[in-house]
Chain A
Amino acid sequence: MAVLTVQNLCYGYAKGTPFEKAVLHDVCCTFGEGEIVAVIGHTGSGKSTLLQHLNGLLKPDSGDVLLDGESIYRSKAALRECRFRVGMCFQYPEQQLFESTVRDDIAFGPKNQKLAADEIDRRVKESLAYVGLRESYADKSPFDLSGGEKRRVAIAGVLAMEPEVLILDEPSAGLDPAGKKALLKLITDYHAQTGSTVIFVSHDMDDVAEIADRVLVLSKGRAVMSGTTREVFARADELLEMGLGLPEATSVMLRLRHEGLDVPTDVFTAEEAAAALLAFARKGAGV
């Protein structure tokens, strides 16, 4: 069942000035319950703008966003409720930290939800655990942490609200490979434990291939492709034409095919590629 439905959404910036710019044209898409959906697209394709509609931070010029079948814009109360049910983690979220301790910063969201003190405390501890930080971090100042740790604290601040839908805008941008890996694991762990829907933007197609169930492709403000990860990456030519990348494994297979080897190209992760190549080598040896 679809948790979030976007209907014919149009949006433009700075209307009525010479800087007017249409960003989204007639975008329709759905996000199913418990899915991990990756949103990919070229810089400026409207990914971030689309995400900001999903929890009502932006109001569309026309079209609607439905949460459990009801418009999130129907009233102020509905909009506020939607903010708590759909947790949004912006690009470089570490820049939004402001409290004097990690504990207080993570508690900012739950406090706004008007939760009881012991519930807030539980959530702070739990979300610290989710992001893999020890409880001793709770009393540190967020400004004393390293970049990667700050990022995790900021994500914990969103997780602490226990959103049904978690949205992450380029969560792994600017992290080192180990940090990236840890972050992906954090997302999949959270997804596995809570069964919540996860929507994320990424430029790293390997990340997308590894964790996404479905992929939504935006190009110039339009939703041009949507389907399972397998279906979308099978349309390699179109993706390349849009200036998007492919998973490393797929690129390798396509190159091998180009060189005249009869290998399968519907391969998206390193493990799959290894298995396919092994099978190919065995077949070759058998002949």
Chain B
Amino acid sequence: MIRDISIGRYFPAKSFVHAMDARAKLLLTLAMIVVTFLCKNLYSLAALCAFTILVYLSSRLKPLLILKSLKPLLPLLILTVIMQVIFTKTGTPVLTVGKFSVYDDALIMSLFVCVRILVLIVVSSLLTYTTSPTRLTDAIERLLSPLKHLKIDVGTFAMMMTIALRFIPTLIDEIDRLTSAQKARGADFESGNLIQRVKSLFPIFIPLFVSAIQRASELADAMICRCYTGEGRTSYRVMKFGWRDAVALLAVAVFTGGVITLNVLFAPLL
């Protein structure tokens, strides 16, 4: 069921990561993504994995949760490995079947690409799992606020993002409801060729768009009625960098330094 999708959802809990400042989390997530691509040998890659797991555990979320959201990636990872095995022809052959050989470079490349993809997903999932959408958009608004000097309307942009995020669950519920309603009338979404399957989605998406547009215009009216102009808005929540953010910043800094050191100490594989 579509309800089971956990990517991008927020799971409230009390933990170190949950309590961090959203701005710090956002920036550190970006830093982690950069570091992911800095790893050049197996030692730094191992450090990356270890650090990611440590961070995830400190969020006190169930390991099952992240495994579930990584599951849809499996086909992509398998495809990556197959591509590498077929097209990478450098290094020494480790396995030869007839005319076809698998080279060690292919395996190393596969490992690096897979680990990077997995870490990217874990780190970015962790951000959304532990930060409520409103805080996240607040954080984006604050971080982008220097752009105001360039006459870019950051507030409106943030409001648009908040609204978009707010309505994702609503739309998912709506898809659920419409799917049930059309199934009750005997709609079949599971058989037929590609064209038939695409066609079978019309009874869901046409009413979905109709109601989404209607809802958008009602929301706009409701906002105008409450005197929304987009100007001079202040925030209810005060954001503060705390000791947790300092600790996290330090941890990521030490980790980044460690990865660079490992890169220097040991020969790069890539």
Stretch from A11-19, A130-138, A179-187, A213-221 forming part of the interface with B = A11-19
Give the distance to chain B from A281, nearest Cβ to Cβ, in Å. Answer: 50
B184 touches A55 (CB 8 A): yes
Interface size class of chain B, counting residues whose CB lies under 8 Å from the partner chain = 20 to 34
Interface size class of chain A, counting residues whose CB lies under 8 Å from the partner chain = 20 to 34
Q: Which of B181, B183, B187, B210 has the most CB of A within 10 A?
A: B181
A109 touches B211 (CB 8 A): no
Return the CB mask of B1-30 against A: 1 if under 8 Å, else 0.
Answer: 001101000011100000000000000000
B184 touches A88 (CB 8 A): yes
Is B75 an interface residue when CB atoms closer than 8 A count as contact?
Answer: no
Give the distance to chain B from A257, nearest Cβ to Cβ, in Å. Answer: 44
List 8 A-B residue pairs with CB atoms under 8 Å apart, sorted by A's residue number.
Answer: A16-B64, A88-B181, A95-B211, A112-B186, A112-B187, A143-B210, A157-B185, A161-B185
Is A84 an interface residue when CB atoms closer than 8 A count as contact?
Answer: yes
A90 touches B185 (CB 8 A): no
B185 touches A13 (CB 8 A): no
B185 touches A158 (CB 8 A): yes
Once bound together, how far apart are the Cα atoms of A17 and B4, in whole Å? 9
Once bound together, how far apart are the Cα atoms of A88 and B210, in whole Å? 22
Contacting residue for A93 out of B3, B12, B181, B211, CB 8 A: B181
B184 touches A98 (CB 8 A): no
A160: nearest chain-B partner, CB-CB? B185
B186 touches A96 (CB 8 A): no
Is A108 an interface residue when CB atoms closer than 8 A count as contact?
Answer: yes
Interface residues of B (CB under 8 A from A): 3-4, 6, 11-13, 64-65, 68, 177-178, 180-188, 202-204, 206-207, 210-211
Contacting residue for B184 out of A13, A18, A83, A95, CB 8 A: A83
Give the distance to chain A from B156, nearest Cβ to Cβ, in Å. Answer: 30
Q: How many A-B residue pairs have CB under 8 A?
A: 64
Is A247 an interface residue when CB atoms closer than 8 A count as contact?
Answer: no
Once bound together, how far apart are the Cα atoms of A108 and B188, in whole Å? 11
Once bound together, how far apart are the Cα atoms of A57 and B207, in whole Å? 19
Q: Which of A36-88 contact B (CB under 8 A)?
A: 52, 55, 57, 80, 83-84, 87-88
Which B residues touch A14, using CB under 8 A? 3-4
User: What are the 3 closest A-B residue pairs judged by CB atoms, nearest first?
Assistant: A112-B186, A88-B184, A98-B206
Which B residues touch A161, using CB under 8 A? 185-186
B3: nearest chain-A partner, CB-CB? A14
Once bound together, how far apart are the Cα atoms of A164 and B68, in whole Å? 41
A109 touches B64 (CB 8 A): no
Once bound together, how far apart are the Cα atoms of A142 and B140, in whole Å? 42
Once bound together, how far apart are the Cα atoms of A16 and B6, in whole Å? 11
Which A residues touch B3, using CB under 8 A? 13-14
Q: Which of A79-120 contact B (CB under 8 A)?
A: 80, 83-84, 87-90, 93, 95-98, 108-109, 112-113
Once bound together, how far apart are the Cα atoms of A95 and B211, in whole Å? 7
Give the distance to chain A from B208, nearest Cβ to Cβ, in Å. Answer: 9
A95 touches B186 (CB 8 A): no
B177: nearest chain-A partner, CB-CB? A90
Give the distance to chain A from B56, nearest Cβ to Cβ, in Å. Answer: 16
Which A residues touch B12, using CB under 8 A? 18
Known: A98-B202, A98-B207, A143-B210. A17 touches B183 (CB 8 A): no
Return the CB mask of A13-29 against B: 1 if under 8 Å, else 0.
Answer: 11011100000000000
B207 touches A113 (CB 8 A): no
B13 touches A96 (CB 8 A): no
Once bound together, how far apart are the Cα atoms of A90 and B4, in whole Å? 22
Having A55-B184, A84-B186, A143-B210, one finds 11 other A-B pairs with CB under 8 Å, namely A18-B13, A57-B184, A88-B181, A95-B177, A95-B207, A97-B207, A108-B185, A108-B203, A112-B186, A158-B184, A158-B185
Known: A18-B12, A97-B207, A108-B203. A80 touches B186 (CB 8 A): yes
Q: Which of B64, B183, B204 has the most CB of A within 10 A?
A: B183
A88: nearest chain-B partner, CB-CB? B184
Known: A84-B186, A112-B188. A90 touches B210 (CB 8 A): no
B178: nearest chain-A partner, CB-CB? A96
Known: A57-B180, A90-B177. A112 touches B210 (CB 8 A): no
B206 touches A90 (CB 8 A): no
B210: nearest chain-A partner, CB-CB? A143
Once bound together, how far apart are the Cα atoms of A93 and B207, in whole Å? 11
Which A residues touch B11, using CB under 8 A? 17-18
A90 touches B202 (CB 8 A): no
Which A residues touch B13, using CB under 8 A? 18
